[in-house]
């Protein structure tokens, strides 16, 4: 069986009729805990998963950029100078090529963050991935991260990983137009194998926290509900706006700066919905800190309790869960998981369940049965292991 690295190389050759000069990749992620805290300058605890997006790339001797993937027949073609000029380069690209906003956004953002793109050669790139799209596992940051490390190397830009996080975040926010925080791009670029990434989203500092799952006979089961989410629109931006309103009315720079007693004291002065949004953020930041402490003590029961408390907060206060996600959490816990919560931005996507290895099959069977009973589409379930961030593979 050929690996995805081989398939990506072969796909490039088939598409462009010559061999790539290298293959780079970046992982998808799950967020163990700390949801919507990133743009509130708080704490998050994601880990990179063992599903990756691979980018086969070669420089050209002209200024053309061709961007292509295994899921389309056609390459999107632009001039490097046009991509560098901004999102207007997307005009005229057909609907099925719109995903190219992610890679072209990285090119643009490299320029915005200091790379002198004038005079650099164009490139051909071909993407192949086993990160499910729209499952809340950060497939877009995986595309951005893989291309960012590739271009950083072949264009000899010398950006460090934290600067590449900024590049990918800028691409997502200002080129693609999704008002996200830095969680996904940080996980894709900074994660280390076998560990979660404890990230302070205010100053960007991070440290690995060992995840000794296998040694404790535990695994993380992903349950992709197949309900698709979309961050460019709707609820995500609304939640972000409510958090900003709360911070403004509480007189702080960001909800990170609010302690629980202060929020409680302001309960009657805030709009009810705004108060509940803020309560999720303030309590979620504390849950991240508590989870880091519990992981360091290898107290997985406490980790499980914190995961479920986080899910309840997202369901009831932040209101970003769905009936499918709630069902997956409930059934996981009833059939042996020690913790479960939705992961990612919400409004669809996936649940993660911290599950003893011996209970995985019974959890999966019970979830399949419950989803069928409710008339929901069959979910996709798989285990994930904490993996390495973006890298060169060949």
Residue with Cβ nearer ligand GAF (129 or 180)? 180
In whole angstroms, how close is the CB of 265 to ligand GAF at the nearest point? Answer: 27
CA distance 319 to 323: 11
In whole angstroms, how close is the CB of 37 to ligand GAF at the nearest point? Answer: 7
Using rule CB under 6 A, residue 280 touches ligand GAF:
no
Using rule CB under 6 A, residue 324 touches ligand GAF:
no
Using rule CB under 6 A, residue 285 touches ligand GAF:
no
For the segment 225-264, give every residue that binds ligand GAF (CB under 6 A): 231
Using rule CB under 6 A, residue 41 touches ligand GAF:
no
Q: Which of 42, 145, 304, 345 binds ligand GAF (CB under 6 A)?
A: 345
In whole angstroms, how close is the CB of 52 to ligand GAF at the nearest point? Answer: 17
Using rule CB under 6 A, residue 35 touches ligand GAF:
yes
Q: Which stretch binds ligand GAF (CB under 6 A): 36-44, 99-107, 142-150, 274-282?
A: 36-44
Q: Which stretch binds ligand GAF (CB under 6 A): 179-187, 275-283, 302-310, 377-385?
A: 179-187
Using rule CB under 6 A, residue 344 touches ligand GAF:
yes
In whole angstroms, how close is the CB of 165 to ligand GAF at the nearest point? Answer: 11
In whole angstroms, how close is the CB of 231 to ligand GAF at the nearest point? Answer: 6
Q: What is the 3-state secondary structure (H, E, C) of the chain?
A: CCCHHHHHHHHHHHHHCCCCCEEEEEEEEEEEECCCCHHHCCEEEEEEEEEEEEEEEEECCCCEEEEEECCCCCCEEEEHHHHHHCHHHHCCCCHHHHHHHHHHHHHHHHHHCCCCCCCCCCEEEEEEECCCCCCCCCHHHHHHHHHHHHHHHHCCCCCCHHHHHHHHHHHHHHHHCCCCCCHHHHHHHHCCCCEEEEEECCCCCEEEEECCCHHHCEEEEEEECCCCCCCCCCHHHHHHHHHHHHHHHHCCCCHHHCCHHHHHHCCCCCCHHHHHHHHHHHHHHHHHHHHHHHHHCCCHHHHHHHHHHHHHHHHHCCCCCCHHHHHHHHHHHHCCCCEEEEECCCCCCEEEEEEEHHHHHHHHHHHHHHHHHCCCCCCEEEEECCCCCCEECC
Residue with Cβ nearer ligand GAF (44 or 360)? 44
Q: Which of 150, 183, 303, 359 binds ligand GAF (CB under 6 A)?
A: 183
- Which residues participate in catalysis according to the annotation? 184
Q: How many residues of this chain interact with ligand GAF, rule: CB under 6 A?
A: 12
In whole angstroms, how close is the CB of 31 to ligand GAF at the nearest point? Answer: 6
Using rule CB under 6 A, residue 180 touches ligand GAF:
yes
Using rule CB under 6 A, residue 181 touches ligand GAF:
yes
Using rule CB under 6 A, residue 184 touches ligand GAF:
yes
Using rule CB under 6 A, residue 315 touches ligand GAF:
no
Q: What region does 178 belong to: left with phi over 0, alpha with psi -120 to 50, or beta?
A: beta
Give contact residues for ligand GAF (rule: CB under 6 A): 31, 35-36, 38-39, 180-181, 183-184, 231, 344-345
């Amino acid at each position: 069986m050929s690996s995805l690295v081989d398939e990506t190389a072969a796909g490039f050759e088939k598409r462009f009729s010559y061999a790539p000069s290298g293959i780079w990749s970046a992982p998808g992620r799950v967020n163990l805990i700390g949801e919507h805290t990133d743009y509130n300058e708080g704490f998050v605890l994601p880990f990179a998963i063992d599903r990756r997006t691979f980018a086969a790339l070669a420089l050209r001797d002209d200024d053309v950029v061709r961007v292509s993937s295994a899921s389309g027949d056609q390459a999107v073609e632009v001039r490097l100078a046009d991509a560098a000029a901004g999102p207007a380069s997307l005009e005229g690209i057909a609907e099925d090529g719109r995903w190219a906003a992610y890679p072209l956004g990285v090119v643009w953002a490299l320029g915005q963050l200091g790379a002198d793109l004038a005079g650099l050669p164009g490139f051909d790139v071909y993407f192949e991935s086993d990160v499910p799209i729209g499952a809340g596992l950060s497939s877009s940051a995986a595309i951005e991260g893989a291309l960012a490390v590739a271009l950083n190397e072949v264009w000899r830009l010398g950006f460090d990983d934290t600067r590449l996080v900024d590049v990918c975040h800028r691409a997502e926010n200002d080129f693609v137009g999704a008002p996200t925080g830095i969680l996904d791009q940080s996980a894709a670029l900074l994660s280390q194998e076998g560990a979660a990434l404890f990230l302070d989203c205010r100053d960007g500092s991070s440290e690995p926290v060992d995840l000794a799952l296998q040694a404790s006979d535990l695994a993380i089961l992903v349950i992709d509900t197949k309900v698709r989410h979309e961050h460019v629109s709707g609820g995500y931006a609304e939640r972000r706006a409510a958090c900003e309103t709360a911070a403004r009315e509480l007189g702080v720079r960001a909800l990170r700066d609010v302690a629980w007693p202060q929020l409680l004291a302001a309960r009657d002065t805030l709009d009810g919905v705004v108060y509940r949004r803020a309560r999720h953020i303030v309590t979620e930041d504390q849950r991240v800190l508590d989870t880091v402490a519990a992981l360091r003590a290898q107290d997985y029961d406490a980790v499980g309790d914190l995961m479920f408390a986080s899910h309840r907060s997202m369901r009831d206060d932040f209101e970003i869960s769905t009936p499918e996600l709630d069902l997956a959490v409930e059934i996981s816990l009833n059939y042996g998981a020690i913790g479960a919560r939705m992961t990612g931005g919400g409004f669809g996507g996936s649940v993660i369940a911290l599950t003893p290895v011996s209970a995985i099959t019974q959890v999966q069977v019970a979830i399949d049965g419950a989803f069928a009973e409710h008339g929901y589409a069959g979910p996709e379930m798989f285990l994930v292991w904490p993996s390495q961030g973006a890298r060169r593979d060949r």
